[in-house]
């Protein structure tokens, strides 16, 4: 076991890449397809409930969906004081989608990869050792950065729509340090701009790396637990899985909350 433990871990941490060479034009088929399926699952269930929502005698599913919507709505109303039709649905999508992607961590680590290996071997004649399937999309930096860069674009968009393009660019050079005269303003502009850029770029990086780090480490620990003798796995696996229920929910919630906070900062005037 010890000799191929490294292989086992490596195999589990390798993506199903659309091209063997990798490179920017290649696609992680596994994370992309899983996240797509989960996204459609979320959209489908919520749209189904929204379409069939009953004013009186709501069903259990409707109450569940309503409680999530209510929670997101409360958070958005508490933090984001400007008027926007985008932010609440955005926050809801982030919370549910990230939660679902994180929740893939709760599946047994070998279940989907082995199923993929079996399908690849049986129907496509592939070498099982070269069939890779990572089932947790949020443990893929592409996925988390895909989300956080979208949030960055939203931040910039919200800033421009709230302050105007000129106002936003002016703020990039004149905040956080204010000078009284024109000479001082010009002198402080590079420092201001550098700080603003750091602030702006730190947001998506911290957002995505926080989620990625949590989910990657969680996945890795499940893989390590899977290396234990089968009779002992539950000893560590059960507590970690239970703790992980908290982690996946919390990470989804944190991602949503920070997005709302960043967007509310973007529309506020300094």
Partner 1 sequence: MEFNVTLLGQAITFAILVWFTMKFVWPPLTNMMEERAERIADGLAAAERGKQDLEAAEKRVADELRQAKQQATELILAAEKRANQIVEEAKDAARTEGAKLVTEAKSQIDQEVLRAKEALREQVAGLAVAGAEKILRKEIDAAKHADLLASIKAEF
Pick one of 5, 7, 22, 199: the residue that binds partner 1 (CB under 8 A).
22
Nearer to partner 1, 27 or 172 (CB): 27
Active site residue: 17, 33, 150, 210, which one?
210
- Give the tokens for residue 254: 């944190």
**132 close to 30: Cβ distance less than 8 angstroms:** yes
The region of 23-31, 168-176, 180-188, 219-227 touching partner 1 under the rule CB under 8 A is 23-31
For residues 215, 217, 223, 227, the Cα torsion angle rounded to the nearest 10 degrees is -160
Binding status of residue 70 toward partner 1 by CB under 8 A: yes
Which among 42-50, 119-127, 157-165, 172-180 is the span making contact with partner 1, rule CB under 8 A?
42-50
CA distance 244 to 198: 32
The single residue among 102, 117, 120, 140 that binds partner 1, judged by CB under 8 A, is: 140
Residue 17, strand partner residues: 28
171 near partner 1 (CB under 8 A): no
DSSP 17: B
**Cα–Cα dist 15/136, whole Å:** 10
Task: Provide CB contacts within 8 A for 152, sequence distance 6+.
Answer: 200, 201, 203, 204
Tally: H helices and E strands in the chain? 8, 0
Structure token pair of residue 161: 């729509």
The verdict on whether 214 is a catalytic residue reads yes
Task: Identify the residue among 53, 106, 156, 201 touching partner 1 (CB under 8 A).
Answer: 53
Q: Give yes or no for residue 150 binding partner 1 (CB under 8 A).
A: yes
Specify whether 134 is catalytic: no
Subset of residues 80 to 119 that bind partner 1, contact rule: CB under 8 A: 85-86, 88-90, 92-93, 97
Q: Catalytic site residue 67?
A: no
Is residue 24 part of the contact set for partner 1 (CB under 8 A)?
A: yes
132 counts as binding partner 1 under rule CB under 8 A = no
| Beta-carbon count within 10 A of 46 CB | 17
Closest CA to 263 of 90, 74, 69: 90
Q: Which is nearer to partner 1, 73 or 110 (CB)?
A: 73
Answer whether 66's CB lies under 8 Å from 42's CB: no
Which of 26, 74, 122, 217 contacts partner 1 by CB under 8 A? Answer: 26
Report whether 24 contacts 142 (CB < 8 A).
no
The binding site for partner 1 (CB under 8 A) comprises 17, 22-28, 31-32, 35-36, 39, 42-43, 46-47, 49-51, 53, 55-56, 65-66, 69-70, 73, 85-86, 88-90, 92-93, 97, 137, 140-143, 145-147, 149-150
Active site residues: 206, 210, 214
């Amino acid at each position: 076991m010890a000799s191929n433990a490294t292989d086992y871990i490596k195999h589990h941490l390798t993506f199903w890449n659309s091209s063997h060479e990798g490179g920017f034009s290649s696609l992680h088929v596994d994370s992309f397809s899983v996240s797509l399926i989960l996204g459609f699952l979320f959209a489908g269930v919520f749209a189904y409930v929204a379409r069939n929502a009953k004013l009186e005698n709501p069903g259990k599913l409707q109450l569940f969906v309503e409680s999530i919507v209510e929670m997101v709505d409360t958070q958005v109303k508490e933090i984001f004081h400007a008027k926007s039709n985008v932010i609440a649905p955005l926050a809801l999508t982030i919370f549910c989608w990230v939660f679902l992607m994180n929740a893939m961590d709760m599946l047994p680590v070998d279940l989907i990869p082995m199923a993929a290996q079996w399908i690849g071997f049986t129907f496509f004649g592939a070498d099982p050792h070269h069939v890779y399937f990572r089932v947790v999309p949020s443990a893929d930096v592409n996925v988390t950065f895909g989300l956080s860069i979208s949030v960055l674009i939203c931040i910039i968009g919200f800033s421009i729509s709230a302050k105007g393009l000129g106002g936003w660019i002016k703020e990039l050079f004149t905040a956080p340090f204010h000078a009284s005269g024109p000479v001082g303003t010009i002198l402080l502009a590079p420092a201001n701009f550098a700080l603003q850029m750091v602030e702006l770029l730190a947001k998506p990086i911290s957002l995505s790396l926080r989620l990625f780090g949590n989910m990657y480490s969680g996945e890795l620990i499940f893989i390590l637990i899977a290396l234990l003798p089968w009779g002992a796995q539950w000893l560590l696996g059960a507590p970690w899985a239970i703790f992980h229920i908290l982690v996946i929910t919390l990470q989804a919630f944190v991602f949503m909350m920070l997005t709302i906070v960043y967007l509310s900062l973007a529309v506020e005037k300094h």
